[in-house]
């Protein structure tokens, strides 16, 4: 019995020694496992942060109509203001980007609103409006332009892409009141006849009178 007991004792000692050795190796591998988890978290966190930051800029390219963020040039903004210089009241920039047209319009007396899909650009626009002292005459909304009605605006600005202009033409023709003016930057509407063209080349803007395009629609 005693021999057996000793044998038991010896074997448990042997086990202890084995476990100690194994424990030393386990510590190393658990350290490696922990490092692996930390590395995975860092990579996953970085990917999530990159996605959150860049996603809203890439998303427009994945939509049916790709309308990327391309800011208006200073000359383009000037041409928009010139085209609307005899006007006042409400103004909307459809796809307002970093808010430059809305802010410039507010500085020229308009109550100006921007609708923009990219939340980063909307937050940045609000910050710029605050910094430039026009917080109370501007509003920025995170919205899809196709899901908003523009019926309440009397001055409408769009810097779009050719692929969307026919669809937007139909939408605005349905929604706008006859007193509205529409300004298209860089790309004109396909069937409306402009009142005037201000500037040239990539800075050109076309101005349309809603009374004209709405009455033409009734004639057809």
Ligand X SMILES: C[S@@+](CC[C@H](N)C(=O)[O-])C[C@H]1O[C@@H](n2cnc3c(N)ncnc32)[C@H](O)[C@@H]1O
Exposed/middle/buried for 205, CB within 10 Å: 0-12, 13-18, 19+? Answer: buried
Distance CA 169, CA 160 (A): 11
Would you count residue 117 as binding ligand X (CB under 6 A)?
A: yes
Distance of closest approach, residue 97 Cβ to ligand X, in angstroms: 3
Report 132-171 residues binding ligand X (CB under 6 A).
Answer: 144-146, 159
User: Which residues does residue 155 pair with via DSSP β-bridges, in sequence order?
Assistant: 91, 181
CA distances to 67, 76, 189 from 79, rounded to whole Å, are 21, 5, 17
Which listed residue (100, 103, 138, 155) binds ligand X by CB under 6 A? 100
DSSP per-residue codes, 106-164: HHTT-EEEEEES-HHHHHHHHHHHHHTT-GGGEEEEE--GGGS--TT-SEEEE---HHH
CA neighbor of 106 nearest in space, from 124, 133, 73, 83? 133
Would you count residue 198 as binding ligand X (CB under 6 A)?
A: no
Residue nearest to ligand X (CB): 95
Distance of closest approach, residue 71 Cβ to ligand X, in angstroms: 4
- Which CB, 34 or 63, lies closer to ligand X? 63
User: Which residues does residue 147 pair with via DSSP β-bridges, in sequence order?
Assistant: none
Which listed residue (81, 87, 91, 97) binds ligand X by CB under 6 A? 97
Would you count residue 206 as binding ligand X (CB under 6 A)?
A: no
- Which CB, 95 or 188, lies closer to ligand X? 95
Report 10-49 residues binding ligand X (CB under 6 A).
Answer: none
Residues that bind ligand X (CB under 6 A): 60, 67, 69-72, 93, 95-97, 100-101, 115-118, 121, 144-146, 159
């Amino acid at each position: 019995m005693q021999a057996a007991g000793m044998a038991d004792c010896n074997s448990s000692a042997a086990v202890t020694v084995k476990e100690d050795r194994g424990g030393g190796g386990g510590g190393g591998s658990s350290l490696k496992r922990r490092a692996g988890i930390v590395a995975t978290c860092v990579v996953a966190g970085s990917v999530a942060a990159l996605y959150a930051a860049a996603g809203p800029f890439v998303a427009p390219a994945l939509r049916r109509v790709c309308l990327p963020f391309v800011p208006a040039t200073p000359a383009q903004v000037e041409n928009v203001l010139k085209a609307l210089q005899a006007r006042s009241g409400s103004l909307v920039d459809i796809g307002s980007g970093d808010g430059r047209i809305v802010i410039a319009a507010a500085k020229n007396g308009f109550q100006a609103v921007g609708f923009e899909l990219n939340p980063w650009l909307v937050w940045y626009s609000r910050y710029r409006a605050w910094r430039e002292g026009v917080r109370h005459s501007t509003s920025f909304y995170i919205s899809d332009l196709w899901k908003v009605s523009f019926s309440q605006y009397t001055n409408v600005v769009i810097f779009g892409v050719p692929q969307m202009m026919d669809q937007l033409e139909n939408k605005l023709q349905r929604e706008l009141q006859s007193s509205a003016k529409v300004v298209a930057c860089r790309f004109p509407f396909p069937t409306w006849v402009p009142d005037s063209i201000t500037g040239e080349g990539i800075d050109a803007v076309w101005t349309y009178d809603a009374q004209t395009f709405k009455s033409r629609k009734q004639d057809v």
